[in-house]
Amino acid sequence: MRHAKLIPLLAASTLLAVLPACGSDTTSKLIQVGDEHDATHLFEPGTDGRECNSSAACEDGDLCTENRCVEHTCRTFTLPTEECCETETLFSETFDGTIADGVTFSQLNGDAGWHVLGGRNASPPDALYFGDPERMTYNVGAHVAGEVRLPAVDLPRDRETVLTLRLYALIETNPQYDLFDVVADVMQDGQVASTTTLLEKRDLPVDSYLGFALVSASLKDLAGSTVVVRIRFDSVDDLNNGYEGVWIDDIQLLASCPLPAACAVDADCDDGDACTAEVCAEVGCLATNVCNLPDDNGTVEDDPCAKPDAPADCCTSDADCEDGNPATVNVCDGATCAVTLNPDMCVTAADCDDADVCTTETCNADGVCEFQGTIGAGCCVPGSQRIADFDNETLQGIYVTDNFETGIFWTPDLTRSTSGKFSLYCGDPVTQTYTYDRRVKSSATTRPLAIPSGGTTRLVFDLFKATRTAINYDVFQVFVQRDGALLPAWSSKLLTNGTTNGAWQHIVVPLTAYAGQEVQLRFVFDSVGVPPESFEGTYIDSLGLETGCN
């Protein structure tokens, strides 16, 4: 699980400032395109997508757009300059009046919960408080917990989103108790596809224990996703709870400006992606999406299941594959539904009892057992376990398949690495692409791995993914295989544009549901459709397990 680092206070505060919005300045725009302002040149609004022979014919008079004629089609590029890029507020709640639609509160029991009060605040008159409002404490002789759930928000794909809130944590400072964290559920078809931790108690600034402090977390790795943010407090037990409680105020989700790359000519900005048009402007490379937009029939062009050559049993999310049968586990493997037998078919936690004193068992909403390691003495031993680094140019016990017999599959490669000389590459090591005349797909599956019973174990690896930016194509996924069942763990759809943007990225995948179990890890690349030319492909390196005891 990747933990977002706190943005420095000054930088986060800067985001809160409302930057000047852009507008039209006909005179200035005419000067930019070299035309005389003689009242004979008429700008036409809404030129994007119109046929053209020159960029001048695409001008819309807006100083905050770059208008170009790209392949005889007008394309509008938003300029990410401070004058033009207004920080957009995607969500805001101050608790000073009517609560925003979609905000919900829940609590473990009736002894302590969420209340809008005026005792303390970052912005008058009120703030949100967790505790007993009569006694102004959560020391009620019982384990207490509560959650604030924000409404679903669609995050922009081309901008970083930042969560900010004001927090006053009058709680125990021990990091193992009185837990405070913020998580984001990635939603697909109304269901939770994955959950990412944005902020944990150990990330909180010291100032938040002394007064209202600005706390921030980045959601840039979830760009393009629909997310539900949840803010949680949990006392863990009924001991040492003689504190006032948690105060929260001024929650915001802010979309900031994109950061363009430097360039000299348009060719410097070409990413080889047929779904983007790119130009070089004074501020740097600008790109606009020309694929992921609804067509005249309302069909999204990057949906492989809407294409005439869609894969059999096509899917873009696990929800597409759900058959309602508790005896099966259904996942979207690349773009094809995979059905495996449920190893548990549980109804209650008792159905999952593994007789291991170092695990606690639950039965999740899909009727699959989950096993969480305990932290206590005698159970948890922190440490790490190497799975593979490929540095002797071998697969090191990993089994590889070439699903469609294309000759494009996972193989050790010298081109890129983060440890030693080799990594595992899915592509043709001669041409260094995954280009082929039909769909390519390959999986790399580890040997059986014993997940420790105690503590919290996670998979860590490095990923370099240079592929198309249409996230439903060229999909890279991590699955857990347990007792024959294939279970989802991570997907490249969580990355900005589905790629690592030309750099290695360290990926952390929680395995908290498999404590004490023997599992195999499966890494899958699926082009979904016919691969494009010139894209390099996907590399993984430095695979390992890490176990912590806090």
Cα gap 244→228, rounded to integer Å? 28
Q: What pLDDT is recorded for position 534?
A: 80
Model confidence band, residue 427 (pLDDT cutoffs 50, 70, 90): very high
Average pLDDT over residues 61-86: 75
Cα gap 46→303, rounded to integer Å? 26
The encoded tokens of residue 166 equal: 């004001």
Neighbour-count burial for 384-395, b at 16+ CB within 10 Å, e otherwise? eeebbbbbeeeb
From 145-154, 219-228, 268-277, 406-415, the region with the lowest mean pLDDT: 268-277
pLDDT beyond 60 at 5: no
Residue with tokens 């769909």: 439
Q: Please report which helix (H) or strand (E) contains residue 26, including its range.
A: helix 26-33
pLDDT beyond 80 at 26: no
Question: 271 versus 235: which is more confidently predicted?
Answer: 235
125 preceded by cis ω (within 30°)? Answer: yes
Classify the phi-psi angles of 347: left when phi > 0, otherwise alpha if psi is within -120 to 50, otherwise beta. alpha
Inter-residue contact 356 to 386 (CB < 8 Å): no
The encoded tokens of residue 157 equal: 């794909």
- Based on its alpha-carbon atoms, the radius of gyration of the chain, rounded to whole angstroms, reads 26
pLDDT in tens, 532-546: 888 999 999 999 999
Cα gap 147→168, rounded to integer Å? 16
Cα gap 222→524, rounded to integer Å? 20
For residues 263, 265, 271, 273, the Cα torsion angle rounded to the nearest 10 degrees is 140
What end-to-end distance do the CA atoms of the chain give, in Å? 14
pLDDT in tens, 254-310: 887 665 777 888 888 887 766 678 888 877 888 776 654 433 333 335 788 988 888
Model confidence band, residue 482 (pLDDT cutoffs 50, 70, 90): very high
Dihedral sign of CA atoms 60, 65, 67, 73 in order: negative
Q: Is 306 helix (H, G, I), strand (E, B) or coil?
A: helix
Model confidence band, residue 223 (pLDDT cutoffs 50, 70, 90): confident
Q: What pLDDT is recorded for position 291?
A: 57
The encoded tokens of residue 59 equal: 């001008």
Within 428-536, strands assigned E span: 441-445, 449-450, 456-466, 475-482, 485-491, 505-510, 518-526
Q: What are the C-alpha distances in Å from 194 to residues 254, 495, 515?
A: 22, 13, 19
Average pLDDT over residues 98-105: 93
Classify the phi-psi angles of 295: left when phi > 0, otherwise alpha if psi is within -120 to 50, otherwise beta. beta
pLDDT beyond 60 at 34: no
Q: Please report which helix (H) or strand (E) contains residue 14, including its range.
A: helix 9-16
pLDDT beyond 50 at 30: no
Question: 141 versus 83: which is more confidently predicted?
Answer: 141
The closest alpha carbon to 529, from 229, 260, 305, 322, belongs to: 305
Model confidence band, residue 66 (pLDDT cutoffs 50, 70, 90): confident
**What percent of the chain lies above the pLDDT cut of 90?**
57
Q: DSSP label at 133? A: T
- What is the phi/psi pair of residue 430, to 5°? -85, -50
pLDDT in tens, 163-214: 999 999 999 998 899 999 999 999 988 889 999 999 999 999 899 999 999 9
Q: What pLDDT is recorded for position 43?
A: 42
Residue with tokens 């170092």: 358
Q: Please report which helix (H) or strand (E) contains residue 302, including its range.
A: none
Cα gap 33→356, rounded to integer Å? 73
Q: What pLDDT is recorded for position 533?
A: 80
Residue with tokens 């130009």: 279
Residue with tokens 């498999």: 514
Q: Domain spanning 9-13+86-255 has what CATH number?
A: 2.60.120.200
- List 443's β-bridge partners, or say none: 401, 524
Q: What pLDDT is recorded for position 112?
A: 93
Q: What are the C-alpha distances in Å from 270 to residues 278, 288, 331, 357, 393?
A: 6, 12, 35, 57, 33
Q: Is 292 helix (H, G, I), strand (E, B) or coil?
A: coil
- List 535's β-bridge partners, or say none: none
pLDDT beyond 50 at 15: no
Greatest mean pLDDT range, 217-231, 491-505, 509-523 = 509-523
Q: What are the C-alpha distances in Å from 417 to residues 390, 410, 414, 543?
A: 9, 14, 7, 12
Q: Where are the domains of the chain?
A: 9-13+86-255, 26-78+260-289, 337-548
Greatest Cα-to-Cα distance within the chain, rounded to the nearest angstrom = 86
pLDDT beyond 90 at 336: yes
Average pLDDT over residues 110-129: 93
The answer to whether the 9-13+86-255 and 337-548 domains have the same CATH topology is: yes
Model confidence band, residue 47 (pLDDT cutoffs 50, 70, 90): low
Where would I find the H helices in 91-224?
none
Q: What pLDDT is recorded for position 287?
A: 79
Q: How many CA atoms lie within 13 A of 217 on its CB side?
A: 26
Q: DSSP label at 314? A: B
Average pLDDT over residues 325-332: 92
Q: What pLDDT is recorded for position 312?
A: 84
Q: What pLDDT is recorded for position 78?
A: 75
Cα gap 524→402, rounded to integer Å? 10
Cα gap 470→493, rounded to integer Å? 9
Q: What are the C-alpha distances in Å from 454 to residues 35, 176, 371?
A: 72, 15, 10
Average pLDDT over residues 338-355: 92
Q: Mean pLDDT score of the chain, rounded to an integer? A: 84
Average pLDDT over residues 231-242: 94
Q: What pLDDT is recorded for position 28?
A: 35
Average pLDDT over residues 501-505: 87
Cα gap 31→456, rounded to integer Å? 62
Q: What pLDDT is recorded for position 84?
A: 65
Model confidence band, residue 117 (pLDDT cutoffs 50, 70, 90): very high
CATH number for 337-548 (one of 2.30.29.30, 2.60.120.200, 2.60.40.2240, 3.30.70.60): it is 2.60.120.200
Q: What pLDDT is recorded for position 469?
A: 87
pLDDT beyond 70 at 120: yes
Q: How many CA atoms lie within 13 A of 516 on its CB side?
A: 20
Question: 259 versus 145: which is more confidently predicted?
Answer: 145
Model confidence band, residue 460 (pLDDT cutoffs 50, 70, 90): very high
